[in-house]
Amino acid sequence: MNLKQLSIASFNLYNLNEPGLPMYTDTTGWTQAEYDRKIGWTAHQLQSLDADVFGLQEMWNPVSVQRALISAGVADHYDLLAPPNANGKRIDCGALVRKGLLTGQPEWITRFPPGFVLRSTGDDPQTPSIGVNIRGYSRPVLHFTIRPRSPGPEVHVYVCHFKSKGPTQVFNEKWFKADPALYGKHATGLGAAISTIRRTAEAAALRFLLSEQMKGNDTPVIVLGDINDGQHSNTANILTEQPRYLVGESKGGGDTSLYTAQTLQEYRDTRDVYYTHVHQDIRESLDHILVSQEFYDNSKKRIWMFDGLVINNDHLNFEDHKALGTGDHGVIRATFRYSPAKVTA
């Protein structure tokens, strides 16, 4: 395959599961009517965005994804990547990869990498010691490879879904039950801190994997998904390593850096209206497409040039997603044009 353009999308499916199956504390799940509307809306997104790769989050059941593909009339166009044991009883990341692009076998990474440590005695005598003992991801990270041009390097793709900002429910913890009078008034703050620590650990563990993958070579990498944090958050900064953007033509690029499609788009727009989620009237960008220097316009090792970002988010203006069949996140697609940097003597 020799693509002249490569399009990558991130799509949070908002608990896509077969009707009647329980999800979280919802014991009855989707009704048939709700499910039918949801499949129709999902199919429309697949049709309109028509990406070469869709990274999927909140995929409970691949059977439902297949139904959406059939409804969209594109079932023969994609390889559906789902864990072999996915049956609607747990949440997974998945992907749709246009036929002919996939190389090798996908893997779902549940455990943090060997050697990964979040422990310190402190930077100075005033700083107390710290240790974080999380061992795995809330949602397994999907890793697979594609080859958009042959001959050409494989592109490593990671699809992730990190812990949400919602406070972790702590009322069933032993320490909480031992003194509810004390902890009751602190449940929100403590729960939010636990969620933040977990999300930060997940980002750092993925960054550990990425650095191992990228350091000292020219491996193209794409990371996409719902990181449940904004463009300039610490979560995003850990993943990207905060590279410089405004450099001369074919002068920039970082060996292990990642560049956000949102920032690349902002340099082409006169106004930033990028958001993928609304909570209590606050619009945020929680869903991201991050790319290595091989996809960065000003990189001296550029292979692909950024060619625009599309965000389908009008449905976020209406809150009753269950009744309407819509998702609670915007769907984003970034397009890249094959345009290797010119090597000068």
Indicate whether 324 belongs to any domain. yes
Indicate whether 194 belongs to any domain. no
Q: What is the CATH number of the domain that holds 104?
A: 3.60.10.10
DSSP states along 222-286: EEEEE-SS-TTSHHHHHHH--------TTTB--TT--EEHHHHHHTT-SS----SEEETTEEE--
pLDDT at 308 over 80: yes
Indicate whether 21 belongs to any domain. yes
pTM, 2 dp: 0.95
Indicate whether 345 belongs to any domain. no
> What is the rounded average pLDDT for all residues in the chain?
93
Tell me what pLDDT residue 343 has.
Answer: 67
Domain tally, the chain: 1
Indicate whether 189 belongs to any domain. no
Indicate whether 295 belongs to any domain. yes
Which whole number is the average pLDDT over 103-128? 94
- The percentage of residues in the chain with a pLDDT greater than 90, rounded to a whole number, is 82
Tell me the C-alpha distance between 291 and 323, whole Å: 35
- Residues 35-85 have pLDDT tens digits of 999 999 999 999 999 999 999 999 999 999 999 999 999 999 999 999 999
Confidence of residue 1 (pLDDT cuts 50, 70, 90): confident
Query: Rounded to whole angstroms, what are the CA distances from 19 to 31, 34, 43, 133?
Result: 6, 8, 17, 37
Tell me what pLDDT residue 345 has.
Answer: 46
Indicate whether 20 belongs to any domain. yes
pLDDT at 247 over 70: no
Which whole number is the average pLDDT over 318-332? 91
- Domain of 291 in residue numbering reads as 5-120+138-163+201-338
Indicate whether 153 belongs to any domain. yes
pLDDT at 281 over 90: no
pLDDT at 18 over 80: yes
Tell me the C-alpha distance between 50 and 38, whole Å: 18
